[in-house]
Structure 1
Amino acid sequence: MLIVKGRRRRKAQRVFIGTYRFNKVIKTKVHQRYPHLTDENLSLVIDGLKEYFFLCHEGNKRMVAMPSQVVDVAWHEFILFTREYKGFCDKAFDRFLHHTPTEAMVTPTMALDGIKRAWRLSCAREGINPTNPSKLPLLFDIDSRLNIDDGFKYSLDCQRSNSNTYCASHIGCSSGCSSGCAGGMGCSGDGGGCGGGGD
């Protein structure tokens, strides 16, 4: 009986996240930071924020790193509506989803684990093979797609990646990969600036 009730609750939470209507001011604030974004682009950012919240829901209280700078800005703006954000978190997660900067994470590997978790969950949700991806999931592609200057850039082609680009296949590696992070791509954050939840 409890298992069925728990499944119903989780399904209701997913529906809540998917149908939630964010305050319009969030788009306005993101547009102030990135004035080149169109209305269509801003709607994609909001879709990205919902997608991130789906990942956090699927992460089962484990930290999920934020792979996108522009979506992170939208998340920051949402948090500023403190009562609204708390109400959203209570209904979506049964808890408050904290925004934890990389520098405040408990262990050096927490950010890396969080970005790998974001990668696996994103790939699963979009039907992408995480170890041999044919495309980047939305949250790993949106900063490049929208030309976010200070964004996190990811690439499937690690041979062509430059020093400002994170190699997606390294994120998809299990902890046993011999190559680890190569090409000066920065293992400590591996592209994710902040995370939600906690390990």
Structure 2
Amino acid sequence: MGKIDRLLVRYGGNVVQLAIALWALALVAAFAGLLRPNWRWAIYLVCTVAVTAIVVQWTRTVRERYIREARLPAYLKRKLRETYPHLSQKDCELVERGLRQFFMACMRSRKQFVAMPSKAVDALWHDFILHTQAYKTWCHNALGFFLHHTPAEALGAKARNNDGLRRAWFWACKDEAINPKAPSRLPLLFALDAKMAIAGGFTYLPDCSNILAKNAAGGDGSGTYCGTSFADGSHSGSSDDFGGADSSSSSSSDSSSDGGSDGGSCGGGGCGGGGGD
């Protein structure tokens, strides 16, 4: 990461607040008679909006590139194979890609809670968070906030958890150009447990319309879960817009998550939930 990228990661999330503060001071000064508004203010306003938008977008791009390309600690794959000895080196690399996809969903969810849908990826995430300093640095560069760990889960009775899974599903699908409402295949994050034959893992199918019977969601993870269930309204929460992810994806800021604070927990419960290990 270059010097400019590091500056953007550290301060880019504060540019909106800074712009608002400067204009608030200018307006106060104008009302107090210390400044006299003129036609140049319109130019200043346009320039402020343009520069702010560029910095926010640039910061988001830097974070996305970091999540996709930054090297994760090598010991994580070794620890994963200790947990699941049957996994090959290539399998571990796929699980690492799944973790990156999860972090991307968190970054794009604007600090809203994102649930973990894979036990294989959850094991890798859990080992990562135990190495506090390395994990804190990763979160700062990738997200701008500290992402707390919550265990993997499936759709169940709690609306908050269901919406967290919907956000994970929506952004994982978008990451692979899959229609989240009518998926023809599974995104990696939701396919890994079955692909890796993870004991007690969560097995998903893109569409369960051909299955005559399926386990009720929220069980022990041994049943089959359906990608289409995230949007069909069969579980509590906001299914129409995937927990708000669909509406945020069409906004001008397109799911930017550029918080400037390092080490603070994710607001509103956190992308990884409020609970620790």
TM-score by length of 2: 0.61
Deviation at 1:108, TM superposition (A): 2.9
**Which residue matches 1:149?**
199
Letter paired with 2:145: R
Contact 2:113-2:164 within 8 A present in 1 as well: yes
Question: Alpha carbon RMSD of aligned pairs, Å?
Answer: 2.2
Q: Secondary structure at the match of 1:99?
A: coil
Q: Does 1:120 align with 2:179?
A: no
Kindly tell me the number of residue pairs found equivalent between the two proteins: 180
Q: Which residue of 1 aligns with 2:130?
A: 80
- Indicate whether 1:63 and 2:113 are aligned: yes
The counterpart of 1:42, out of the listed 92, 102, 112, is 92
Take 1:111 and 1:45, find their aligned partners in 2: how far apart are those partners? 22
Query: Is the partner of 2:72 in helix, strand or coil?
Result: coil
Q: Which residue of 1 aligns with 2:71?
A: 21
8 Å contact 1:119–1:172 — kept in the other structure?
no
* Larger displacement relative to structure 2 (15-24 or 154-163): 154-163
Q: 1:148 to 1:101 in 2, by over 3 A?
A: closer
Q: What corresponds to 1:168 in structure 2? A: 227
* Counterpart in the other structure of 1:191: none
Give distance in 2, aligned partners of 1:165 and 1:110.
21
Q: Are the aligned partners of 2:113 and 2:272 in contact in 1 as well (CA < 8 Å)?
A: yes
Distance 1:121-1:90 versus aligned 2 partners, 3 A rule: same
Q: Show structure 1 runs of 5+ residues with no match.
A: 182-186, 189-194
Give the 3-state SS of the residue equivalent to 1:154 in structure 2.
Answer: strand
Do 2:122 and 2:152's aligned partners in 1 also have CA atoms closer than 8 Å? no
Change (3 A) 1:102 1:69: closer
Deviation string 1:32-80 (CA, Å, 9 cap, x unpaired) is 1111101100111111111111111111111111111000000000001
Question: Contact 2:98/2:188 (CA < 8 Å) preserved in 1?
Answer: yes
Alignment-mate amino acid for residue 181 of structure 2: T
Q: Percent identity?
A: 39
DSSP-derived class of the 2:150 partner: strand
Preserved CA contact (<8 Å) 1:68 1:142: yes
CA deviation string 1:131-169 (max 9, x = no partner)? 111001111101111111121111134232643111211
Q: Does the 8 Å contact 2:115/2:165 carry over to 1?
A: yes
Instruction: Tell me the distance in 1 between the aligned counterparts of 2:194 and 2:164.
Output: 21
Deviation at 1:100, TM superposition (A): 3.0
**Structure 2: tracts of 5 or more residues without a match:** 1-50, 216-222, 238-269
